[in-house]
A and B are shown apart, each in its own frame.
Chain A
Amino acid sequence: MDFIFYFGDVFSPLSFLLLLGGTIGGLILGATPGLSPTMAVALLIPFTFHLEAVQGLILLGAAYTSTVAGGAVSAILLKIPGAPANIATTLDGHKMAKQGQGAKALQLSFLASAVGGIFGVLLLIFLTPLLAQWALAFGPSHLFWLAILGVTVIGSLDSASVVKGLLSGCIGLWLATIGFDDIMGAQRFIFHPSLGGGINIIAALIGLFAIPQVLTMFAKGRRADGAEVIEVQKHSVLDATRELLRRPRALSIGTITGSIIGLIPGVGGQIAGLVAYDQTKKFSSEKEKFGKGHSEGVIAAEAANNAMVGPSLVPLLTLSIPGSPTAAVLLGGLLIHGIFPGSDLFDNHPDVAWTFINSMLVGQVLMCLFGLYVAGLAARVAQVPQSVMAAIVLALSAFGAYSVQSSMGDVYVMACLGIGMYFLERFGFSAAPLVLGLILGPIAEANFIQGGMIADATVGKASYFLSGGLNILLIAVVVASIAYSAWMELRSRRYTTKEEAQA
């Protein structure tokens, strides 16, 4: 129950102001189609340099939480999901808005998001210390396999092609080796002076997540987006609360599904929302109403995508393994303040860890309160032409990358990685495993070298890295995640072929 002791810190004036700003800003950014939560958090990192670690994390955590919820605004009022996590919300939310129930849909989405989100953060609070203690038993070989596991799980589960996902992870691991070797001081892959100090993680994150979105907006050309905001009539929040309480099945299925999916590294909010929607429909006595503007569809989807936020941080805070691309960006935010997740975080920086987690709990309530009032404004912002949005994101990316170390080299690296990632994405590669490779590469290498030294002095490399219960378990999970994804890919391809044959 350590978290209770640090609750007051959330309400210190600057921390609370940042929490408020992050929540309101996140709601507006989340409602803007094309700006993903990951990109929003990546663009915010440079603003945290001048803050204390805990304040920086509060800002990033608030933005993460509220961008996911804010995405529901454009999903409901514009039929454009603000983020992939809000796809399922569009199915019934937009229909409700068209039937004149836009305000009710928005209220239900924020209320359900808050319930799901609070449950998710409570899971984070109670699971994290247990797992952090368990992580103390990890040696270099286990940490090496954990880092590899982080890359392969996201590479295989988060990508349309297993091979391309794993290849993206390999590219990230290779990029992490660029620069001077820590032990021998040897130059590795430095083919341009800008790379002398290695690839700066923040510049890379901004480039990999923001620049492809800018180029995607450019590729659409000079066309009006054509999205029309549906006007919302007034609706009593009390009535919406009663409606939510009348739908406990949708709320609990959404919350539990989202929490479980959030704990699995690599499985994002998009899947959480869709799975919860599907399960709620299966168990509902009003199946026929789904897809026609049914409140249960909105409740399940939004409870799920916010419930996954807290649990998705469990592997990050305990084992240093980010469970999602946004968690990877948060890891970047921790590392720039010299804080390493794991048991060290809770032993040496309990104030940072618990204040950050508590702020996410308070943030859920603020998100719900402000979401109900900011929704109208957020929907207007979502109508900003993509040309303006692309230019804003490009300039913010350049300034953000430069401000990391006041180096033009970081701006060049950001642009090159971003342009490269855009084309890689067009060929089926994915940014998430590449980013994880880049972040986990140094952890994997450090433990590989350290483990190698221990192995040379004791049982030999093969025995050290490939034997022992925990090593075998981790290797088995790596192999199983790849095999499962490959099997799913083959199965869907076979079905596609069969459908094509029938057509």
Chain B
Amino acid sequence: MNRSQHILGSGLVFAVGIWVAWVSYTQQPAEAFLFPRLIASVFVVLAGWTFGKAALGLSKVGSGVSRTMFLNMVPGLAVMLIYVFWAAKALGFYTATAIGFFILLSLYDPAPHSEGKTWVKRMLVTAVFVAVMYGLFAKLLSVYTPREILF
């Protein structure tokens, strides 16, 4: 695997470890940070060790993210981020789920895009899924979710 990916990944973990240690040892009241200090000390040592090995090119475990995998994942990840961090609240859970679900099916379904039949199938699957979710969460479990547009 790409050595720079290992360095980047373990470097980020090491940076978080240093931040945790810094906060644990500087914030007050000290009594509230006794346990975090204990963890942070071990965290920093292990993260430093992992980063050191990555920097020396000795990291053996973990295959990283290949360019193809990353490019395949980006559209789905983008839909997920928009769905979770914006659409679910702004459009309402069920509307956002219907739109997000349909986009994901369209993006990743191996069936050909040129056939009208496949689009009808995707719309049907989306409608059935959202109906099941609505029945399950809104009716059966009485979970009140944000509802902005439609439902």
Contact = CB atoms under 8 A, between A and B. Distances in A.
A267 B107 CA distance: 38
Interface string B65-91: 100111011011100110111001100
Interface of B: 5-6, 9-10, 13, 16-17, 20, 23, 27-29, 31-36, 38-40, 42-43, 46-47, 49-50, 53, 59-65, 68-70, 72-73, 75-77, 80-81, 83-85, 88-89, 93, 97, 100-101, 104-105, 107-111, 125, 129, 133, 137, 141-146
Given A387-B109, A426-B64, A167 B47 contact: yes
Given A394-B80, A426-B62, A427-B9, A387 B20 contact: no
A387 B10 contact: no
Given A163-B46, A171-B13, 9 more contacts: A161-B62, A167-B46, A177-B36, A219-B69, A222-B72, A222-B108, A387-B108, A415-B85, A445-B35
Contacts of A221: 68, 72, 108
Given A167-B46, A388-B105, A449-B34, A399 B137 contact: yes
Given A215-B76, A406-B144, A426-B63, A411 B39 contact: no
A188 B89 contact: no
A387 B104 CA distance: 7
B41 to A, nearest CB: 10
A392 interface: yes
A423 B64 CA distance: 8
Nearest to B21: A174
A198 to B, nearest CB: 13
A6 interface: no
A428 B46 CA distance: 14
9 contacts: A163-B49, A167-B13, A186-B28, A385-B109, A392-B101, A394-B83, A398-B83, A398-B88, A426-B62
Interface residues of A, number: 64
A164 interface: yes
Interface in A414-462: 415, 419, 423-429, 444-445, 448-449, 452
Contact of A161 (B61, B76, B133): B61
Interface of A: 46-47, 49-50, 160-161, 163-164, 166-167, 170-171, 173-174, 177, 181, 183-184, 186, 188-189, 214-215, 217-224, 385-388, 390-392, 394-396, 398-399, 402-403, 406, 408, 411-412, 415, 419, 423-429, 444-445, 448-449, 452, 493
B141 A47 contact: yes
Residue with the highest number of chain A CB atoms closer than 10 Å, among B28, B40, B49, B62: B62
